Amino acid sequence: MTAPRLDVDALIDDKGVGVIVCCGSGGVGKTTTAAALALRAAQRGRNVCVLTIDPARRLAQSMGLTELDNTPRPVPGIEGGRLSAMMLDMKRTFDEIVEAHAEPERAQAILENPFYQALSSSFAGTQEYMAMEKLGQLKQQSEEGEHWDLIIVDTPPSRSALDFLDAPKRLGSFLDGRLIRVLAAPARGAGRMSARVLNASLGLFTSAMSRILGAQVLRDVQLFVTSFDALFGGFRERAEQTYAQLQAPDTRFLVVAAPEPDALREASYFVQRLESERMPLAGLILNRVQEVRLPDLSAATARAGAERLGDQHTLVAELLRLHADRMETAARQENVARSFTGAHPRVPVASVIALADDVHDLEGLQTVGDLLAKG
């Protein structure tokens, strides 16, 4: 079964599309894909802001920037439209929320609270949630005059791609839920019960939070909740608004994967989740696909030819063996991709061949963009 072709240019040219979310498991090329899409869209006349999660300097360097931070920076040398890029700083984004909605004295108390400092930098799901929070900020800035008509989001690397969809609700429910109030409630004459409640709740914390035990953490939590709850009143509502952005009519999801069983299995789960949540899926980007230059020369024929040559033509024999290896790799990848298409026959797919070198400049990103368009 052949998958329908994903028309990447039609996607980025569509003025009805204002947000593209690149998602998938870690290590499949999401960051490069997001940057290449952003560059191609800008070159085709869109005013684009790309939000990346990649802390490596190579992405900044590939865009001709000395660094990327939590503020969008214009990328020089773009013809056609405009391109700005930024890298998510999850703690700084959390701090910005506090500073924007609290009086200076209350904001300072929250920012200095040990519980808040651990929460804003280490709580499971904070990075995923803050990516969506930053998306909301960029959308608001665009409406107030920045004039970005396309925002491309590179989602955080995680053990499971589904973490990205669950994070807003999980973090919002935690901050606005009963558990945080139980932790904050003083326990009179029930020290053992309080300890049991705390221990039962530690599953929601990351390893960084597990270091904080005893009465001090209860005092920190109590002070945090007093300040934070008075400030927001309903963090869950804010998280639900953030989640709703993912379902907005102008949002499209691109699932990014490599032609490997684990990556495509994760992609399949993600597609099912998007469908169940009624989120708009544009298609699948399949990165690092093995290119075959001589498809009519089978692996078996190439290996047999190499054996016949023996030591007489070493270079030719090695080239034949290399071709055989690539043919076998391509066959394995095709079988894995066919399994995905069999499960999701209506999901459009664009394949990108594996490049010999890492992308390190705008020319490299443009090459990836060209390959994405060819599909």
Q: How far apart are CA 373 and CA 26, in angstroms?
A: 23
Is 320 domain-assigned?
Answer: yes
Does the pLDDT at position 213 exceed 50? no
Q: What are phi and psi of 148, to 5 degrees?
A: -70, 130
Q: Which amino acid is at 231?
A: L
- 303 is in which domain, residue-wise? 299-328
Sheet bearing 349-353, strands edge to edge: 73-74, 82-87, 47-52, 150-154, 19-23, 251-257, 281-289, 349-353
Taking the CB of residue 298, how many other CB atoms lie within 10 A of it?
Answer: 15
- The closest alpha carbon to 366, from 9, 37, 48, belongs to 37
Per-residue model confidence as pLDDT tens digits over 325-375: 999 999 999 999 999 999 999 999 999 999 888 888 889 899 999 999 998
Contact 52, 35 (CB under 8 A): yes
Q: What is the pLDDT of residue 167?
A: 67
Is 323 domain-assigned?
Answer: yes
Q: What are phi and psi of 352, to 5 degrees?
A: -120, 120
Is 307 domain-assigned?
Answer: yes
Q: What is the pLDDT of residue 197?
A: 47
Is 314 domain-assigned?
Answer: yes
Asked whether the CA dihedral 163, 166, 170, 171 is positive or negative, the reply is positive
Domain count, the chain: 1
Per-residue model confidence as pLDDT tens digits over 96-140: 878 877 788 888 888 888 877 877 776 666 777 777 778 878 887
Instruction: Tell me what the mean pLDDT of segment 133-157 comes to.
Output: 82
pTM as predicted: 0.81
Per-residue model confidence as pLDDT tens digits over 255-302: 999 999 999 998 998 899 888 888 899 999 999 999 888 888 999 998
Q: How far apart are CA 300 and CA 314, in angstroms?
A: 18
Per-residue model confidence as pLDDT tens digits over 32-74: 999 999 999 999 999 999 998 766 666 677 777 777 888 888 9
Is 317 domain-assigned?
Answer: yes
Is 8 domain-assigned?
Answer: no
Is 324 domain-assigned?
Answer: yes
